[in-house]
């Protein structure tokens, strides 16, 4: 079967810093796949390259068998490939429901805009997804009134408004109250299993990624250091050294 995502020999440098150095990896359609590595190892850069945030210097990126290396963020998003950020990007002054409504492109078209800016099916989907992440009771609060953890859930729900096939999550549990991490993990598993969204997850919390991912890639110094199922990665001496060396 064609993998949903293929990264082939991707290199990206910023001035003299080679953030990604010939990375090759695959994400099959279906599971939750992990991406780990010490700070500065190039994880976020790889996500940025995949979603078209910046051009790559070398290599190619394929989504569902189609080359996307030279496409831009909105084109790639329309194909069903989206990301979330380490720092959330929600509108603090807008209500949760509005944040959801505006996250779908093409709603500001035609005469309908003057009467009611959001088609009823968009509002319905927004309410359904807010319910799914447990924020329905807070739909009329402003984004800025939510806790950081709730803002991350809202951002997740906003990404789901676009019905992605593959969602890249950059440290979804970073900054979240440890008590809430388990429930966030359960939600991520439901997004994967119930909504059928393949997840590619950068995660710093080892317990979380070992529990979530079926297969894990580990980067170090911009290169792929190791890959394998969680139980193998956990005991891989190169991975252990990379993390210990980074402290
Ligand atoms: P990670 O997400 O694994 O912590 P990053 O991909 O953010 O790592 O960073 C990898 C390297 O690339 C770091 O040395 C970082 O300083 C550098 N880098 C990332 N983005 C930029 C940028 N926009 N401009 C210059 N250097 C960058
Ligand atoms: Mg990062």
Q: 222 C-alpha to center of ligand 2: Å?
A: 12
Q: Place domain 1-80+164-247 in its CATH homologous superfamily.
A: P-loop containing nucleotide triphosphate hydrolases (3.40.50.300)
Residue 88 in contact with ligand 1 by CB distance below 6 A = no
Q: How far apart are CA 111 and CA 156, in angstroms?
A: 30
Q: 53 C-alpha to center of ligand 2: Å?
A: 14
Query: Helix (H, G, I), strand (E, B), or coil: what is residue 77?
Result: helix
In this structure, of 17-26, 38-47, 80-89, the range with the lowest mean pLDDT score is: 80-89
Closest C-alpha to 247, from 38, 17, 35: 38
Going by their DSSP bridges, the two strands 223-228 and 215-220 should be labelled as antiparallel
How would DSSP label each residue in 124-170? HHHHHHHHHTT-GGGTTSBGGGS-HHHHHHHHHHHHHTT--SEEEEE
* φ, ψ at 43 (rounded to 5°): -65, -50
**In the chain, what are the domain boundaries?**
1-80+164-247, 90-163
As a whole number, mean pLDDT of residues 120-124 equals 91
Q: Nearest ligand, CA of residue 48?
A: 1
For position 178, what pLDDT does the model report?
Answer: 87
Name the residue with the closest Cα to ligand 1, atom 14.
40
pLDDT band, very low/low/confident/very high, at 233 (cuts 50, 70, 90): very high
- Closest ligand 1 atom to residue 15 Cα is 25
For 197-224, the pLDDT digits (tens) are 999 999 988 899 999 999 999 999 999 9
Average pLDDT, the chain: 91
For position 96, what pLDDT does the model report?
Answer: 96
Q: Which residue has the tokens 């193998």?
A: 232
For position 243, what pLDDT does the model report?
Answer: 82
Q: 21 C-alpha to center of ligand 1: Å?
A: 12
Residue 42 in contact with ligand 1 by CB distance below 6 A = yes
Is 111 a residue whose pLDDT tops 60?
no
The side-by-side arrangement of strands in the sheet containing 66-67 is 17-27, 5-14, 58-63, 66-67
Q: 40 C-alpha to center of ligand 1: Å?
A: 6
- Answer for the pair 61, 53: CB distance below 8 angstroms, yes or no: no
For 32-63, the pLDDT digits (tens) are 999 999 999 999 999 999 999 999 999 999 99
For 158-174, the pLDDT digits (tens) are 999 999 999 999 999 98
pLDDT band, very low/low/confident/very high, at 104 (cuts 50, 70, 90): confident
pLDDT band, very low/low/confident/very high, at 85 (cuts 50, 70, 90): confident
Burial class (CB in 10 A: 0-12, 13-18, 19+), 19: buried
**Entry pTM:** 0.92
Q: Which residues surround ligand 2, an ion (CB under 5 A)?
A: 44
């Amino acid at each position: 079967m064609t993998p949903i995502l293929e990264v082939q020999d991707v290199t990206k440098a910023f001035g003299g810093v080679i953030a990604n150095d010939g990375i090759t990896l695959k994400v099959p359609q279906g599971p939750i796949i992990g991406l780990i590595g010490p700070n500065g190892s190039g994880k976020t850069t790889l996500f940025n390259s995949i979603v078209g945030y910046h051009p790559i210097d070398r290599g190619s990126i394929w989504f569902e068998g189609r080359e996307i290396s030279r496409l831009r963020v909105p084109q790639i998003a329309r194909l069903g490939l989206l990301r979330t950020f380490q720092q959330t990007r929600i509108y603090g002054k807008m209500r949760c429901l509005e944040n959801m409504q505006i996250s779908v492109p093409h709603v500001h078209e035609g005469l309908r805009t003057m009467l009611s800016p959001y088609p009823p099916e968009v509002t319905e989907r927004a309410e359904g997804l807010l319910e799914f992440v447990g924020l329905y009771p807070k739909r009329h609060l402003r984004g800025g009134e939510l806790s950081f953890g709730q803002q991350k859930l809202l951002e997740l729900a906003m990404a789901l408004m676009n019905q992605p096939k593959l969602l890249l999550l950059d440290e979804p549990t970073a900054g979240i109250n440890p008590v809430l991490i388990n429930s966030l993990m359960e939600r991520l598993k439901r997004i994967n299993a119930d909504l059928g969204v393949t997840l590619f997850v950068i995660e710093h919390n080892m317990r979380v990624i070992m529990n979530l991912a079926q297969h894990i890639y580990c980067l170090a110094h911009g290169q792929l250091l190791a890959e394998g199922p969680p139980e193998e990665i956990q005991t891989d001496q190169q991975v252990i050294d990379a993390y210990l060396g980074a402290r």
